[in-house]
Amino acid sequence: MSDSKILNDKMNRSSRLEYRQVGQTDLQISAIGFGASPLGNAFGPIDAEEGTRAVHLAIDEGINFFDVSPYYGLTLAEERLGQALLGKRDRVVLTTKCGRYGVEQFDFSASRIRLSIEESLRRLRTDYIDLWLAHDVEFGHAEQIVNETIPAMRSLQRQGKVRYVGISGYPLKVLMHIAEKAPVDCILSYCHYNLLIDDMDTVLMPFAEKLAIGVINASPLHMGMLTEREAPEWHPAPLKVRLAVKEAQSFCRMRGVDLAEIALQFCLDYPRVTTTLVGMASPEEVGRNLRAYRNSPDRDLMRQIKTILAPVSNMQWPSGTLENCD
């Protein structure tokens, strides 16, 4: 890419949001998306009114992609997002999920899928979902997802209740296996492209691009690890990763920079995905995330942080059933 093209891209990004097409669909979504799981108190209690103001500010600033699930806050996130979107539904591309309803509660059967859409439509106060994802498919049986879940979702698509259909999960292998057997419009992958890991780029993206499937990158902060705070106790990353992140945190503090901002910029600077999904629950978080998007990343600083994290690069954890783990 020429220097002038890079400069123009930076100028465009500083003045407005970029919108990208989701695979072969007609959905055009902002390159930074609003992850609504915090609205369901997923990372601790929030002020519901602050959450509503965050949604409204994001829309006003051009963020049009909103992602939620019945699992987040055990339906609370859907309820709060639906309330916040009253009068603004036509300005957003709305995504929710089905199949996961609790920490250990999964049901990918056709009957539950049909019930799930009605429940989500009611909570979200809308009569259609733009993009509907089977949630954390690695906890189900791949053959059921292929032969029962996705066909049920496509049936509801034909009824006009959803516009497009996709899958989400952590292990890349099962996501690609399912998408190869049962064509989907989009794949949401989390914790596979950020400062700690980049196998989305080498494994998932070539597959998705070949089939023209849209890809959403979620958890750019590695589920809260790449911040100034301690990683949550429940975080599944190995101890080696936690220790390496502590070193990166110290490095950033010494230089007066925010690790979370650098980590977010690293992901937002990646052009191959359709959008990067970032959790937000307050106007301050919306503003901070948009500043990270609009400011030019310090590539030298990123390289130094990547060097610190290199010994634990691409370390993963098991998720889902044994047959579905990478």
Distance separating alpha carbons of residues 41 and 47, to the nearest angstrom? 9
Contact 172, 204 (CB under 8 A): yes
3-state secondary structure 181-221: HCCCCEEEEECCCECCECHHHHHHHHHHHHHCCEEEEECCC
72 is catalytic: yes
Helix (H, G, I), strand (E, B) or coil at 95: strand
Contact 166, 184 (CB under 8 A): yes
Count CB-CB contacts under 10 A for residue 14: 11
Closest CA to 320 of 232, 226, 236, 252: 236
Indicate which residue of 19, 71, 72, 270 is catalytic. 72
> What contacts 126, CB < 8 A, 6 or more positions away?
82, 85, 89, 94
Helix axes 259-268, 283-294, angle to 10 degrees: 60
Catalytic residues: 72
